[in-house]
Structure 1
């Protein structure tokens, strides 16, 4: 065998089992290993961006949140088809919410919704995260909520299947489908860089939805609304208030 042939054969041997340039090799793993690595990337995330939608009897909620493990959050939630949009800022246990008139009317039926929208006049409602008026939306504005809601338990090794390659917003991924808890879902796990979970699709907790995850490790913006543009939620409960 010539020296060239030996060199080519040796190079071929070295390349067997290695990832393509820029790849992380995750697509070569068994399906349950891919699923668990994707799951762990969400469970150990200190911060990330969550974009998704869930459907229930009242309609479709579309969210775009940047969240971290310290309880900080910045984002928006919209309701389809009723319309309306709300901005959310959460810093620790302080929460600010700014719903537009359509969102307020959709969430608070009758005259109360209209009255609250008029009282706010485009300002932020401010209160504590455990306030009953704010808890419903502020509770989901946290990394721990995602970790509990989407992937509470590992996939069973005998109940997960590897799918096809895909792109999630331009990022290469491999899909796996299986059961995690009561829901059967499909995960999209990045095949370049760290094997981050990029997308979840399927039935979770009786609600069908989809969520995209990105910007792992990026800090949540720290700016909060100024007092002059905020109304304490307790003031909306005073005589003449509507909350």
Structure 2
């Protein structure tokens, strides 16, 4: 991701993954049927009807959609991690590990709500975050960062490979 909220990469929901691209104020996600069933689990009827239609298509969503806002917002993501300065206080230095072939130091903290936060910070060069992990609590998951300093140039998927989520959602309501 870059400062202009362009990004491309992979995100996960449960045990499944989806490709993500954000360009020209539009977010695109492409996942298999299981990804969409997992992502739509709060709406079982919609998941059952929509997941087969979304399988392996690039789903086009407005970037300001509340459910996807911030997916590619680098400043927002970093600010949210640092929103409560107390989150940084009391972090314990853990072992050295490897993240995508780079040596990283683990910093951990038991947080409120039964969460355990782990930051993996590069040990060579600038100490940038390579990975964040949250275990337990309401929103477990992880984010891995790579290719620091590289230009992000996501392309819009071909029109024939995209589905507009707003149109599809309207179709489900009739």
The normalised TM-score by structure 2 is 0.69
1:191 aligns with 2:138: no
Aligned residues: 167
1:232 aligns with 2:153: no
Structure 1 residues 191 and 137, CA, compared in 2 at 3 Å: closer, same or farther?
same
Whether contact under 8 Å (2:26, 2:60) holds in the other structure is yes
Whether contact under 8 Å (1:126, 1:231) holds in the other structure is yes
Distance in 1 between residues matched to 2:53 and 2:96, nearest whole Å? 51
Task: Give the 5 Å matches for 1:173-212.
Answer: 173-177=104-108, 185-202=117-134, 207-212=139-144
Task: Give the 5 Å matches for 1:141-220.
Answer: 141-152=72-83, 153=85, 155-156=88-89, 159-177=90-108, 185-202=117-134, 207-220=139-152
Once superposed, what is the RMSD of the aligned Cα atoms? Answer: 3.4
Structure 1 residues 235 and 151, CA, compared in 2 at 3 Å: closer, same or farther?
same
Whether contact under 8 Å (2:70, 2:77) holds in the other structure is no
> Unaligned stretches of 5+ in structure 2?
none
> Unaligned stretches of 5+ in structure 1?
1-66
Distance in 1 between residues matched to 2:72 and 2:54, nearest whole Å? 22
Structure 1 residues 233 and 120, CA, compared in 2 at 3 Å: closer, same or farther?
same
Distance in 1 between residues matched to 2:75 and 2:112, nearest whole Å? 17
Larger Rg: 1
The answer for the alignment partner of 1:109 in structure 2 is 44
Q: Relative contact order, CA 8 A, sep 6+: which one is greater? A: 1
Secondary structure at the aligned position of 1:214 is classed as coil
Which deviates further from its counterpart, 207-216 or 86-95?
Answer: 207-216
Report the Cα offset of residue 199 of structure 1: 3.2
